[in-house]
Amino acid sequence: MSRIIHFVHQSADGFIHGPNGEFDWPSMGPELSAHSQGLSDSADAFLYGRVVWDLMSSYWPKAEEYSTHEHDLAFAPVWREKPKVVVSRTLTEAGWNTRVVGDVADLADIEGTLVLFGGSDLAASLTERDMIDEYQVFVHPVVLGGGKPAFREPGKRFAMKLAESRVLDTEVVLLRYRR
């Protein structure tokens, strides 16, 4: 059985992207980058829904062509090498060391720690099935005024335990919860 960690950036008003789909606002300072890199290194695989997969697979294979940011340059080779899993009913295959599964139930057969990056639709499906073990929510100092909410209605009420809270790079708040 896999262990799933949901890693999500959100605005102060609770959105994962702005009204026009923009995701140019997360502040990746050295502390947040180090935390992200440590989590990425400890993961057995990265987990995505199809929409986030499309974004990630269009950027990270050639990130060095698009960016000179230290975080991007460090993460790009990790992303290319790390096993990845995409949950999709429409995608049949994907490159870059990626396994496609058609249903979230198929994740139960995968061993190790999976880190879900973003993806509020997939996160909601996993939450409804009690499949997320830990939530790492990074609240950034920006108000987007609309967009896609970080958390869809999970369909039920459940309690979580605060495992950690801290400020990274003097501006981003990490809230880490366990189920």
Give domain status of residue 84, yes or no.
Answer: yes
| pLDDT (tens digit per residue) in 121-141 | 999 999 989 999 999 999 999
pLDDT of residue 156: 74
Give domain status of residue 57, yes or no.
Answer: yes
| pLDDT (tens digit per residue) in 86-99 | 999 999 889 899 99
pLDDT of residue 140: 98
Give domain status of residue 11, yes or no.
Answer: no
Dihedral sign, CA of 74, 28, 168, 153? Answer: negative
Give domain status of residue 18, yes or no.
Answer: no
Domain hosting residue 58, numbered range: 29-178
Predicted structure pTM score: 0.93
Number of domains within the chain: 1
Give domain status of residue 165, yes or no.
Answer: yes
Give the span between the Cα atoms of 26 and 7, in whole angstroms: 13
Give domain status of residue 170, yes or no.
Answer: yes
Give the span between the Cα atoms of 127 and 129, in whole angstroms: 5
- CATH code at 152? 3.40.430.10
Give the span between the Cα atoms of 18 and 54, in whole angstroms: 18
Give domain status of residue 24, yes or no.
Answer: no
pLDDT of residue 154: 65
Buried/exposed 137-170: b ≥16 CB within 10 Å, e otherwise: bbbbebebeebbbbbeebeeeeeeeeeeeeebee
* CA Rg value for the chain: 16
User: pLDDT tens digits for the chain (179 residues)?
Assistant: 689 999 999 999 999 999 998 989 998 999 999 999 999 999 999 999 999 999 999 999 999 999 999 999 999 999 999 999 999 999 988 989 999 999 999 998 899 999 999 788 999 999 989 999 999 999 999 999 999 999 887 677 889 999 999 999 999 999 999 99
